[in-house]
Amino acid sequence: MKLSKKLQQLPPQFFASLVQKTGDAIAQGRDVINLGQGNPDQPTPLHIVKALQEAVENPTTHKYSPFRGISELKEAAANFYKREYNVDIDPLTEVAILSGTKIGLVELPMAVLNPGDWMLLPDPGYPDYLSGVVLADVKLDTVPLIAENNFLPDYGALSKESKKRAKLMYLNYPNNPTGAIADLNFFNDTVAFAKENEIAICHDFAYGAVGFDGVKPVSFLQAEGAKDVGIEMYTMSKTFNMAGWRVGFAIGNSQIIDAINVIQDHMFVSLFPAVQHAAVAALNGNQDCVTTFVNNYEKRRNALISACNRIGWKVEAPRGSFFAWLNVPKGFTSQNFADKLLSETDVAVAPGNGFGEFGEGYIRVGLLVDEHRLEEAIDRIGRLGIFNKDMTNE
């Protein structure tokens, strides 16, 4: 049986090919330092694990979850937003439980757009955004994110046609892959832009907990009028090292939340209730573990940037997320530089072109190994002698 035309139209899974290349090198017995992954390397905090264990022992969690998730998790999400961002949320109408926010990001265009409608996606951006475009049979314009604008969209540079036809726009700060952050002024401008052009906003807040240099990332919902135009998606994966647990939530505009709930009514019966109870413990519990995680990432960032400086690699330090967005040396593309690093130094990185046209000229490095391995990776790269030849991009 052949794949459906819809599946044949899906873009190649960028991360799957990246994992395959790295896995092949490791299978050969090579000591690969994997900086291409996006998977937190530290375990889930013990109090969350214990909450799951206790919930699993309760037979009531062995049954189907309510279709739209347990009320305790919705209430915990609302309480979390009030405590962390001073945003008021109605848990009954403004929260949708997700089995990981990837599902929400891919299903949202199917829930709120019609075939042939247009949406705006950041470039560079999370590759799986494109899956939602294909599955919903919609069209897209890209919003370039460039260093000269601190990797923020320039709404004034968008064409009149793009603004007129777009009905939905995705944003993501702290940003994957660039590590850029957005402030409240930017989100206020975004709300104004959305209202003026009748565009719904979905802010992917996956790295919402990870800000550096004493700066706490801002929620889109903190902007005045944000709930009038959009939602935010928050995952437990990064904040609480719960990537494999597959739990998150969408929060904000009640009409968009209802659309997500309706499509999920037909596709899922929410997620394992015990995992939802563990998520409640994470959101309501002591947040010292989050502070520890963020401080750890910042130490790794500092080690990485110092090591790059030592070998003459002129790069910008990320301000958030657990990624660094590093320019490739002059004379290389993103792909052939990444291939060279894997084949000649056993360092795996993600080539920037996998994140979009404007990702060309960069590689993405994950801060997901300890400082010593990060320093060793850069030392290996330094021994290539590329940067000693002053070949960095100007």
Rounded CA-CA distance 100/104 in Å is: 7
Q: What is the dihedral of CA 93, 95, 97, 103, to 10 degrees?
A: 110
Within 10 Å of residue 290's Cβ, how many Cβ atoms?
19
Would you place residue 185 in the very low, low, confident or very high pLDDT band (cuts 50, 70, 90)? Answer: very high
Choose among 76, 129, 128, 68: nearest CA to 98.
Answer: 68
Of 245, 264, 284, the position where a domain reaches its end is 284
Inter-CA distances, 371 with 194, 234, 304, 366, Å = 41, 28, 7, 12
> CB atoms < 10 A from the CB of 134, how many?
17
Assess whether 242 and 128 both reside in one domain.
yes
267 within 8 A of 130, measured Cβ to Cβ: no
Do 13 and 107 sit in the same domain of this protein?
no
Question: The domain spanning residue 304 has which CATH number?
Answer: 3.90.1150.10
Both 94 and 186 in a single domain?
A: yes
Q: What percent of the chain has pLDDT over 70?
A: 98
On the CB side of 367, how many CA atoms lie within 13 Å of its CA?
Answer: 31
Task: Report whether pLDDT(15) > 90.
Answer: no
Rg (CA), the chain: 21
Burial 2-38 (b: 16+ CB within 10 A, else e): eeeeeeeeeeeebbeebbebbeebeeeeeebbbbbbb
Query: What pLDDT score does 394 carry?
Result: 40
Residues 189 and 246 reside in one and the same domain: yes
Each residue's pLDDT tens digit, 325-367: 999 999 999 999 999 999 999 999 999 999 999 999 999 999 9
Looking at the domain assignment, is residue 168 inside a domain?
Answer: yes
What number of other Cβ atoms are within 10 A of residue 157's Cβ? 11
Q: Are residues 356 and 294 in the same domain?
A: yes
Clarify whether residues 295 and 347 are in a common domain: yes
Domain boundary among 284, 306, 337: 284
Would the pLDDT of 18 be above 90? no
Verify that 205 and 319 share a domain, yes or no: no
On whether both 246 and 215 belong to a single domain, the answer is: yes
Average pLDDT score over residue span 6-25: 85
Q: What is the rounded CA–CA span in Å between residue 341 and residue 240?
A: 31
User: Quick one: pLDDT band at residue 393, thresholds 50, 70, 90?
Assistant: very low
Residue 53, in any domain of the structure: no
Residue 350 contacts residue 18 (beta carbons within 8 Å): yes
What is the reported pLDDT for 19?
85
- 15 belongs to a structural domain: yes
pLDDT of residue 310: 95
CA–centroid distance for 158 within its chain:
24
State the pairing for strand pair 248-252/230-235.
Answer: antiparallel
The pLDDT assigned to 72 comes to 98
Q: Say which amino acid occupies 236.
A: M
pLDDT tens by residue, 117-138: 999 999 999 999 999 999 999 9
Residue 111 pLDDT grade (very low, low, confident, very high; cuts 50, 70, 90): very high
| DSSP-derived secondary structure for 243-256 | GGG--EEEEE-HHH
Q: Work out the pLDDT band at 391, boundaries 50, 70, 90.
A: very low
The string of DSSP letters for 128-177 reads THHHHHHHHT-EEEEEE--GGGTT---GGGS-HHHHHHEEEEEE-SS-TT
Given 3-state DSSP classes, what are the helix, strand and coil percentages for the chain, each rounded to the nearest 5?
A: 50, 15, 35
Domain co-membership, 38 together with 67:
no
Encoded amino acid at 200, one letter: A
With respect to residue 56, please indicate whether it lies within any of the assigned structural domains: no
Which tokens belong to 257?
Answer: 């939340």
The 8-class DSSP code of residue 357 comes to: G
- Is residue 52 a part of any domain in this protein? no
d(Cα 96, Cα 104) in Å, to the nearest integer?
9
Are the CB atoms for 238 and 172 separated by under 8 Å? no
Residues 117 and 261 in one domain: yes
pLDDT tens-digit series, residues 66-89: 999 999 999 999 999 999 999 999
- Do 275 and 321 fall into the same domain? no
* Residue 308: domain span: 5-44+288-384
Q: Among candidates 231, 286, 260, which has minimal Cα distance to 89? A: 231
Would you mind telling me the total number of residues written for the chain in this entry? 394
- Enumerate residues 6+ apart whose C-beta is below 8 A from 73: 97, 249, 276, 277, 279, 280, 283
Contact 381, 311 (CB under 8 A): yes
pLDDT at 389: 53
CATH number at residue 112: 3.40.640.10
Residue 243 lies inside a defined structural domain of this protein? yes
Question: Is the pLDDT score of 189 beyond 80?
Answer: yes
Same-domain check for residues 214 and 312: no
pLDDT category at 251 given cuts 50, 70, 90 is: very high
